[in-house]
A and B are shown apart, each in its own frame.
Chain A
Amino acid sequence: MGEAILRVEGLVKSFGRRRAVDGLSFTVAPREIFGLLGPNGAGKSTTIGMLATLTRPDAGRIEIEGIDVAREPERVRPLLGYVPQELALYPALSARDNLAFFGRIYGLGGRKLAARVDEVLEVVGLRDRARDAVQTFSGGMMRRLNLAVGLVHAPKLLFLDEPTVGVDPQSRNFIFEHVLRLRDEGLTILYTSHYMEEVQRLCDRVAIVDEGQLLALDSPKALIAELGEGLLIIGLPPGGAEAVTACATTLNALGRVTMRDGLLYVEARRVNQALLELLDLCQVRQLGLRSLQVLEPSLESVFLRLTGKRLRD
């Protein structure tokens, strides 16, 4: 991994009493797809808003290619591509007119603009609908055009904020394929989502956030590997969780054990062995099991272990 293209340090943003982003720090390397994974309200869009110079942070520092974003936003904006969660297009204009307009705003013109518009339309598969008004497009097509507008000026860093919300499966796959292709062509991408499958499929590294805080940061594979073969969630009578936790280190099949809201979250190195060992322990301590869940290793399970909540509650 080379020098970071994006550096975020101690980012804070509050709205009234609510702290939407609380001390977020991470870096993004060039040509990386970096994921921000978290449920609705975790602070992902607020973070993207600050990175894209839409809002100023209350504290913290953002650097893009070494430029301080808060001090010199106008230097940074030509480098950024922004694809907002909501569609941001002119429905009465054609796809070509939308792209040409935004291209001119970014300083493109003449033949260079025309060529770039054609190129981007080709990339998103809308070349044959270039002259049609956007209001005649399907939702998936609009999403693709929404992406195209973020690319028309050939940015170095692309922010994709939940790009597949409300999109049909075909268009979703189309977006996935093109995100990977864009990365391969040299673009750095910050991808936010609350869909674990997307992040797992696309991202080189993922930051798991909730309530504005960074909970974990690593590649999806490494984060999942921490769970071993699976995650066990066990409900025990009062005091039982503490008793099991105290003995957990002696059980070979168990990995990390955390307790939250009266439930035990157990990373199982070997699921079957871990179950037997736990049941044996409960039998000895005369602890009656109240609930038991066995979850396969996934980012969802990682999030559940970290927060006690599901990604899509």
Chain B
Amino acid sequence: MGERLPTLRLFSRFVVAIVLLCTALVVSTNSQGLAIDLAGKPFDPFRAAPGKVVVLIFVRTDCPISNRYAPMIQQLGNDRVDRAAFFLVYPSRKETAEAIRRHLKEFGYTLAAIRDPQHILVKQSAAQITPEAAVFNAKGQLVYHGRIDNLYEDFGHARKQATTHELADAVEAATAGKSLSASATPAVGCYISDLE
């Protein structure tokens, strides 16, 4: 596996290694992650789309709100395919690659999907909810994280249609190279921390 793991193999050294890793995560937002692709290989979305705006969308197979967003998420990705790289990120440890493939097929997703069982990308994105989006500018800086739009105000409080579109706006700004200070609007859905 990746370059980091050898240090973890030795029990006598793992505590040190963990501390280093965590420090790296908190300090640097574009550190290489330990997310994996559906084949189980380490996968770094930032390396896969160098110099591009990267959008991570955290989803879960059994989260009803995140599922209800599927057509909108896919459409957002389709419409911006030239300007930004969209990745679906499944943060659950329990969801197997097979279950995720099934989920992608059922919900008509063609976006790239990756797993983040160690919550490396979750932490990098400060994500707390599925569905939640994180937008990184071409320099790999986190410029937005939070809800996709305001369809849901709370559990059971859904609008007929969203009236604000935070994710689309953030992608727009990031692809236009506008310098945004990192902004966040809380999302409604399932708590990622329940997966720890």
Do chains A and B interact in one complex?
no
Name B residues whose Cβ lies closer than 8 Å to a Cβ of A: none
